[in-house]
Amino acid sequence: MKKTIGSAVILIAVLGASLSGASAAEKAAESTRDVRTIELRFKRLLDLANKHDINGIHAMFWQSPFALLVAKSAVPSEGEWAGFWGNDAIDQKLHDIADSGPVVLKPDLSRLKVVTLSSNIAQSYDPLEITVSYAGQDGTPKPFLMIMTWKKISGDWKVASEIILPVPAKAPKA
């Protein structure tokens, strides 16, 4: 009897290990697909931004009062950079920026990184150059970082947050 129970325990352990291995491989494949999908969605978002297609960008965002865009502010009481929460505020900010004149986002796609944090949350990071004349900016291309959180909703990856940060100028060497 002890030998049979011992054999059964070993068999269960072996079966469990083989099943979890298949599950891990499936999860890795799904994660790889998700990363590729987000890379394509990121490129699409930048294409829409360069075309000033606010409606197209709106459709890419998570429709929630918790959706967030961090961008340059034109309102002194908000500080130089501020968070804009919810789709109405995000849409208004994007309209204001687009209406200020040419806006060109030039990503460094060779440095785009996407990390899945769970089956429905991921983050992307990409350095890019932005040319814009909004809120006192002079239309000179400048370096920024774009950090995004993506949320999978009904099988589709949506932008939950987009944080655009200026890269400080390098101090001259003494």
Q: Given a cut of 50, is residue 11 above it in pLDDT? A: no
Provide the whole-model pTM.
0.80
Q: Which pLDDT score, from 0 to 100, does residue 4 have? A: 55
User: Dihedrals φ, ψ of 92, to 5°?
Assistant: -65, -45
Q: Mean pLDDT over all residues of the chain?
A: 85
Whole-angstrom Cα distance, residue 66 to residue 57? Answer: 16
Whole-angstrom Cα distance, residue 75 to residue 80? Answer: 8
The answer to whether the beta carbons of residues 142 and 128 sit under 8 Å apart is no
Q: Which pLDDT score, from 0 to 100, does residue 91 have? A: 96
For the record, the structure tokens of 149 come out as 């959180």
Q: Given a cut of 70, is residue 21 above it in pLDDT? A: no
Rounded to a whole number, what is the distance in angstroms from the first to the last CA of the chain? 82
Residue type, 131: T
For the record, the structure tokens of 17 come out as 């290990």
DSSP 11-39: HHHHHHHHHHHHHHHHHHHHHHHHHHHHH
Residue 118 burial by Cβ neighbours in a 10 Å radius (0-12, 13-18, 19+) = exposed
Instruction: State pLDDT tens for residues 81-98.
Output: 899 999 999 999 999 998
